[in-house]
A = this chain, B = another copy of it.
Amino acid sequence: MTKDISITEQRPYHHGDLHRAIVEAALSVLSESQSTEFSLRELARRAGVSHNAPYKHFADKRELLAAVSAVGFELLAKRMADATKELDSPRERLAAIARAYVCGGVNNPALYRLMFGGYLGGQDNGRPAIERTAAHSMKAVVVEAICDGALGRVIPNSAANTRTIDGAILIFWSQMHGLTLLLVDSLVGPSGKIEELSEGVLQGMLDGLANCIPEVPVGVWVGPPPAE
């Protein structure tokens, strides 16, 4: 009786690629509402399936969020990689990466917050593997740019330079991360000056980084994510 095909041929019983559909719905809702508080049921509705169908693809909401977050990291990595194309000066390339990073966060704050807002375990270790992997590949883009000579000298990505690279990454990343979030929160402004502002911070940081690079301490986690 449930086989009552009312109008035209309704979608087949099986969706086909619900996993992807749900993640995309989440990205849409995230962009539109700019709120991280959407419901699984809403996504199911958008995908045209019952409220419980997503559970066949994600163990729980957290796992779905992690998948979305992972896409966010991939998008960011791609943005940054693309930004370095057709640029020769290593320093300019690192600067371009920084701009792409901040820009990506500012353009979709809700997604950026999802990636870094601690909706997962709080600890990186608590993040599902899929997300950690994506985050690491994003970081690799930065590592490469720094080793490339962006700070005034080429730094071979060898064990001997781990300390130097780790330190540079930490300074670079935390500065960009903080700037992005302050911009997103509108805690700095007026908004018309955002690019000029960011540019000043960026160039200042690169100068400072180039100077203090050799003395930077050790310990940042760089390289493949630690095994579980």
Residues of A within 8 A of B (CB): 34, 109, 113, 116-118, 122-125, 135, 167, 170-171, 173-179, 181-182, 184-190, 192-193, 196-197, 199-201, 203-205, 207-209, 211-212, 215-221
Contact = CB atoms under 8 A, between A and B. Distances in A.
A213 to B, nearest CB: 9
Nearest to A191: B219
A117 B114 CA distance: 10
Q: Is the interface of A mostly helix, strand, loop or mixed?
A: helix
Contact of A182 (B177, B186, B193): B177
A75 B21 CA distance: 44
A212 B216 contact: no
A219 B170 CA distance: 26
A138 to B, nearest CB: 11
Given A178-B178, A181-B116, A182-B173, A34 B122 contact: yes
Given A116-B181, A174-B182, A190-B219, 18 more contacts: A113-B117, A118-B185, A122-B184, A123-B185, A124-B186, A124-B187, A167-B200, A170-B197, A171-B201, A171-B204, A188-B219, A188-B220, A196-B218, A200-B216, A203-B212, A204-B209, A204-B216, A205-B208
A215 B200 contact: yes
Nearest to A208: B208
A190 B220 CA distance: 7
Nearest to A113: B118
A217 B199 CA distance: 9
B212 A204 contact: yes
